Chains A and B, each alone.
Chain A
Amino acid sequence: MVGHGAPRQEPDAGNSATPNRRGPGQLEAEILAALWAAGEPVTAAVVQREVGPDLAYTTVVTILSRLRDKGVLARVRTGRAYAYVPIADEPGLAARRMRRVLDSEADRRTVLARFVSDLSSADELLLRAVLDESVPPEGPSPSEGRGRGGQD
């Protein structure tokens, strides 16, 4: 399945609108991100269901082909359908090196804008409390915060 617990998360997005019209660049990014999150080859139909029920199937296939032309994903045959899998290659490893290069500099903080800053212990306690309060009573989602991360 693409994404963790995606089927049980999506319904709670009853208060979330369909995302606004997304540009092609954004769609490519979302689809590529979904493939990486999947951890296994997925078909175009699955991608369409996860990333954009509002998208046409042909649109999804077109974008997948474009990404394949760019060399960031590969197509494999599973049974009668094609499935897509992202490619981990030399450029990706180069990015990992870059991060280590910058990590050693104080400049990292000024050059890169990180999505989240480091959490102190007190902040972690507070954050868990805040998130637990906000999670709806049903579903195992409260367990997501605990010691889970970067898993496989």
Chain B
Amino acid sequence: MHFAVYVPLLAPLLLLPCLRLLAPQLHPRFASWLLMITMVALGLGSTASLAILTAAGLVKLPVAQLTGRWSAELLAQYDAVGLPVGVGAAAGLAGSVVACGYTLARWARALNRARRELGEVAGDAAFTVVPDDTPYAYTLPGSRGKIVVSSGMLRALTTAERRALLAHERAHLESRHDLIHCLAMLAVRLNPLLVPLRATLSYTIERWADESAVRDTGDRPAAARAIGKAALAARAGSRPPVGSLAAAAGPVPRRVQALLRPAPVLGLRGLLRSFVGVICAGTIVMVVGSGLATVEAASDLNRALETSEVAG
């Protein structure tokens, strides 16, 4: 079997470090798109690889030859994969497709359940306040998405900070980040090696919404303070923190730090001129390369089947 067929399956191992290096350098919107497209491409490529491996493995089965369509001796010359690999690939393929269906169904069910309950609340209103001292805020996704904020959260923020919060949540709805999350979720089911990228994507999506909020409100510091206050308010009442700052910073401090710095400018144009752009180009080449590898492996198999066909 041509080595090419394994490329999409293993590509995440190479791409993971590249993308994690790259993502913080890019504007979060661009980074999010790049991550999502990469994950989907590799997920589909992995599925294609598994399908090819399944076909190549099953082709060795006596059953395939019983149909009389292919010659056993000619097929033996084709360096196909062993039967165990074929069966393993078939299991992986079936498993990932089932996992996708299950994930989608569960997601849809949870979403509908939340919508139904909140539907009684909000009616047509896109913005709902819940009388609750616990501070929280979130969006319920969908084409008619809803923003839900507790009164405790609203009381903890100033006018400018509330504005930033609402703009952030609105950005999630307008840019349909729920769909991006869903696609990433499915891609991970198709190739579990992509799991670490999901966290990276979640972060860049939040940063994307933060930058959109700043663009709408024109107030960068207020957005930073809103996030900081919201996070600290949610922790109020828990024990005072102890310990060192040794561990890598989590998403909330990083978001606040990013907003206290000037806006990221590295979009497509700046990218093409920088070292970061080289890594980015390399990443894209790898993704495209694994796609081509899949195509190569498929035609390799096809050729072998054709040449093994019994005449007449």
A117 surroundings in chain B (CB, below 8 A): 231, 250-252
- Majority secondary structure, A binding face: helix
User: Hey, which bits of chain A sit against chain B, CB under 8 A?
Assistant: 2-6, 9-10, 12-13, 15-20, 25-26, 28-30, 32-34, 36-37, 39, 50-51, 70, 72, 86, 88, 91-99, 101-102, 105, 107-108, 110-131, 134, 144-145, 147-152
Partner of B156 from A15, A93, A151 at Cβ < 8 Å? A151
B257 contacts A29, C-beta separation under 8 Å: no
Q: List 12 A-B contacts (CB under 8 A).
A: A4-B155, A19-B217, A33-B127, A91-B128, A98-B114, A107-B106, A112-B114, A119-B234, A126-B253, A134-B221, A145-B229, A150-B233
Partner of B231 from A10, A72, A101, A119 at Cβ < 8 Å? A119
A145 surroundings in chain B (CB, below 8 A): 228-229, 232
Q: Which of B148-194 contact A (CB under 8 A)?
A: 148-160, 162-163, 165-166, 168-170, 172, 177-178, 181, 185
Contact-residue bracket for chain B: 35 or more
Q: B128: shortest Cβ distance to chain A, in Å?
A: 6
* B242 in contact (CB, < 8 A): yes
Using A34-B159, A115-B230 as known contacts, say yes or no to A134 and B260 having CB atoms under 8 A apart: yes
Using A107-B107, A110-B110, A121-B242 as known contacts, say yes or no to A128 and B232 having CB atoms under 8 A apart: yes
A115 contacts B136, C-beta separation under 8 Å: yes
* B35 in contact (CB, < 8 A): no
Using A30-B163, A92-B131 as known contacts, say yes or no to A122 and B256 having CB atoms under 8 A apart: no
Complex-state Cα separation, A9 to B121, whole angstroms: 33
Partner of A51 from B106, B159, B242 at Cβ < 8 Å? B159
Using A16-B222, A118-B234, A128-B232 as known contacts, say yes or no to A113 and B129 having CB atoms under 8 A apart: no
Complex-state Cα separation, A90 to B145, whole angstroms: 21
Q: B272: shortest Cβ distance to chain A, in Å?
A: 30
Complex-state Cα separation, A43 to B178, whole angstroms: 38
Partner of B162 from A16, A34, A128, A130 at Cβ < 8 Å? A34
A125 surroundings in chain B (CB, below 8 A): 241, 243, 245
Complex-state Cα separation, A5 to B156, whole angstroms: 10
Complex-state Cα separation, A121 to B246, whole angstroms: 11
B141 surroundings in chain A (CB, below 8 A): 111, 113
Shortest Cβ distance from A93 into B: residue:
B131
Q: A107: shortest Cβ distance to chain B, in Å?
A: 4
Q: A104: shortest Cβ distance to chain B, in Å?
A: 11
Shortest Cβ distance from A115 into B: residue:
B137
Q: Which of B96-152 contact A (CB under 8 A)?
A: 106-107, 110-111, 113-114, 117-118, 120-123, 125-141, 147-152
A95 contacts B118, C-beta separation under 8 Å: yes
Partner of B127 from A32, A34, A122 at Cβ < 8 Å? A32
A119 contacts B133, C-beta separation under 8 Å: no
Using A51-B159, A102-B110 as known contacts, say yes or no to A124 and B241 having CB atoms under 8 A apart: yes
A99 surroundings in chain B (CB, below 8 A): 130, 132, 136, 148
B253 contacts A127, C-beta separation under 8 Å: yes
